[in-house]
Every structure is written in C-alpha cells, then in structure tokens.
Structure 1
Amino acid sequence: MAKNKQIAIILADRLQFYGLDCLLKEYFSPLQIRYFPDMLSLIEKQPDLFDFYFTDAQTFLIYWDYFLPRRNKVIILVDKPDTNLPVTNMISTRSSIETTIELLESVLLAENTSSSTDINNKDLSGREIDVLQQIVRGHTNKEIAEHLNISLNTVLSHRKNITAKLGIKTVSGLTFYAIMNGLISGDEIEL
C-alpha cells in the first residue's frame, strides 16, 4: 500500500475488534486503525477521515443513511458461513484465516472503484430492479404482480433471473444487495 490507509472499526464486540485489528496489522501494515465502540463515538471524531469502515450488519442497518454514501468503503462483518455472501464487501466471521485475508486483500488493496456497483446493476433489467425492490419491501409474489401490473409467472421468472444473475438466494441477502447498491433505502424495508 502506498499510503497509510485510515481504518475505522465500529464494533461493540471488543473481541471481534482485537481479532480484526491483529489480522490487519499483521498482513496489511502500515495502517492507521481506530476503534469505536458505537457510531456516536465515530461521529464526534471527524468521521470522514477514514478510507474504510468495518462494522457489523446491525450497525450498518441502523445507520444506513451514514454508510450508504460511503458504501464502497464499508466492510460488513456477518456471522454466517462465507458461502453465498450477497455482496463482495461482506466478510464472514466464520471464514478461515486464509479466506479472510484474501477478502481483506481484495478490499484494501483494490483501488476505490465507485463504478463496481454500477456494473452490478447493469446486469439487472429495469423490471428486475422493480421486482427486487418489491421483494425487499416484504411483498409476496402475488402483491408484486398486482403492484407492477404483471402476471405471477412473470414475477417468478424475474425472481429466478435475479437469483441467477446475483447468486443471492435469500431475502436478507437481496436486502443487503439493494441497500449497498442504492436501490432502496432502509426506511422502505418492513421489519
């Protein structure tokens, strides 16, 4: 790395922070790493100075309005197996060290490309994006068909195409994808 990257780690779990801190320092130094136990601590310490933000999924969803404009710099730690993670900037806390290092390397050493999300969105047609937004809002297939004035079979075809193109099979994965790519805001999601 040419310059010392500024890393903000926003995690309530100190043990996760120490593990991530050790990996980053051992394999990717020189880095400047700052720990924040919550978002309020980050916001009062000049939050725009950082090149990358590591946080958990819950913090990301609560503060999506903060993270969405910085989505290319946000890495979300999730507690699920690393197979079929919905977006490239998610890292499973259950991954092997080798896999975690590879993922960190792809994120930290890559140039900051804001066009990567645009490339992903070009894979989906406009109607598929409409269907995806309806799925994420919590609508059933029948409701989606009614809202978009299309047949139930067309909805099912679009869902199949979305899953095939994105490689995401779960509604939660589709939700993260939609939020990270600016297709939907957190306010539009039914909990």
Structure 2
Amino acid sequence: MARNKQIAIILADMLQFYGLDCLLKEYFSPLQISYFPNMQALAEKQPDWFDFYFTDAETFLIHGDYFLPRRNKTIVLVDKVETSGTANNLISTRSSIETMIEQIEQVLLAENTNNVVETNNKDLSGREINVLQQIVRGHTNKEIAEHLNISLNTVLTHRKNITAKLGIKTVSGLTFYAIMNGLISGDEIEL
C-alpha cells in the first residue's frame, strides 16, 4: 500500500493555511498535511520527510538555501493577478479556484518532477539566460546592453524571446523562474 503524500505548509498567515488546507483536502485526498508557522517549527520536525512544501514568496526568498535544493518539491504562493504562463511551482493566490486546482494538480501529480528544471532551461539559449540574469538583477535594457556588449535592439529581442518561450511577462515572475531553476541566487537580487 502506497503512503499518502506528505505535505508541509509553511505559512505565517493562518487564513492562507486554512484555505490551502481545505483546497488540498477537498480535491487531492488522501494527503497528510502538516502546518508550520515558520521555518524554525519545520526544523524541529523531520524537514526532509515531506514530499512537497507550500510556502509564501518571502519565506522562500529568506530561506532559499533550504528550498533551492528542494525546488522541484516547493510550491510558492504569490500575491499576483497574472497566472497564465507562470513557472510550474508558482501559484497565484488571486487566481480562480479552478486555476489553482489545475496548478496544484500539475505539481502534485507530475510523474517525474525532477525533469521540470532541465526541460525549462533547455528552452533558453546561453545568451538568453545571461539577459534573464541581468533583468532579475534589476538592470535596465541599456545597462544590460552595456554589460553584455550587445546592442539595445538585441536586448529587446532576447527579452521578447524569453517572454515567448517561458510565457512569463512580469519581472517578478521571471525572478521566481530564475531562482527556482538555479539561474540566480536570492542574494544577487536588488530589492
């Protein structure tokens, strides 16, 4: 008999926890869900025992050293309206219930979550990855052109290609994509 998937929810916001807990129990049972108000509470348990981790963007960024090695098992809740084309492990808390269910289902029911990062990164060329890293670091198009010794038009073309390939239109979405796929660390981002 297969064991139930073990879910850790690390959220300070109790209302978000209860909403996520109800959603998971109603649509994805049987699951074993454990709640942690912070990372210290998770550390007191067996933190590597869980199949999936749900957390918010702030906790993810602060504790990136813990979540990045588990990026294929980490689902980040973001407070953004945009949902179409976001990275697999981002779920907008402003989406419709149907959209959230589909996004969670893609992550929880994926046959082999380890291939997600490799497949996504193959879509971008080396130069597109360089441009993406510069975007995430907060550089303007002109600064990117100067740093990479390419023309402004080339930067704009790369940005257009990145957006088309990933389906992510916002800088915040690109930032999470880059962090989740190990293209940049949280320390390199200007806040």
Q: Could you say which TM-score interval applies, normalised by the shorter chain?
A: over 0.9
How much does 1:102 deviate?
A: 2.1
**In the alignment, is residue 125 of structure 1 matched against residue 119 of structure 2?**
no
Comparing 124-133 with 164-173, which one deviates more in the overlay? 164-173
For 1:110, the equivalent position in structure 2 comes to 110
> Which residue of 2 is the match for residue 33 of structure 1?
33
How does 1:53-92 map onto structure 2 within 5 Å? Answer: 53-84=53-84, 86-92=86-92
Partner of 1:17 in structure 2?
17
Structure-2 residue corresponding to 1:150 = 150
In structure 1, C-alpha distance between the alignment counterparts of 2:67 and 2:156, rounded to whole Å: 32
Mind listing any 5+ residue stretches in structure 2 that lack a counterpart? Answer: none
Preserved contact between residue 137 and residue 189 of structure 2 (Cα < 8 Å): yes
Q: 1:152-189, CA deviations, whole angstroms, 9 ceiling, x for partnerless residues?
A: 11111111111111111211111011001110000111
Superposed displacement of residue 2, structure 1: 4.0
Q: Could you say which residue in structure 2 is the equivalent of 1:42?
A: 42
2: distance between equivalents of 1:107 and 1:169? 21
Q: CA deviation at 1:71?
A: 0.5
**Residue 166 of structure 2 corresponds to residue 166 of structure 1:** yes
- Whole-angstrom distance in 2 between the partners of 1:111 and 1:103: 15
Measured against aligned partners, the alpha-carbon deviations of 1:84-107 in whole angstroms (never above 9, x if no partner) come to 352111112222222222222222
Which amino acid in 1 is paired with 2:99?
T
Q: What letter is aligned with 1:172?
A: S
Alpha-carbon distance change, 82 to 149 in structure 1, aligned in 2, over 3 angstroms: closer
Partner of 1:189: 189
For residues 92 and 153 of structure 1, the distance between their equivalents in structure 2, rounded to whole angstroms, comes to 32
- Tell me, in whole angstroms, the C-alpha distance in 1 between the residues paired with 2:32 and 2:158: 44
SS at match of 2:168: coil
Q: CA RMSD in A?
A: 1.5
Displacement of 1:23 after TM fit?
A: 1.6
Distance in 1 between the 2:153 and 2:94 partners? 38
Q: Secondary structure at the match of 1:6?
A: strand
Name which of structure 1's ranges 105-114 and 16-25 shifts more when overlaid on structure 2.
Answer: 105-114
What is the TM-score when the length of structure 2 is the normalising length? Answer: 0.94
Does residue 134 (structure 1) correspond to residue 137 (structure 2)? The answer is: no
5+ unaligned residues in a row in structure 1: which ranges? none
Greater mean deviation of Cα atoms: 81-90 or 56-65 = 81-90
Identity of matched residues, %? 83
Aligned residue pair count: 191
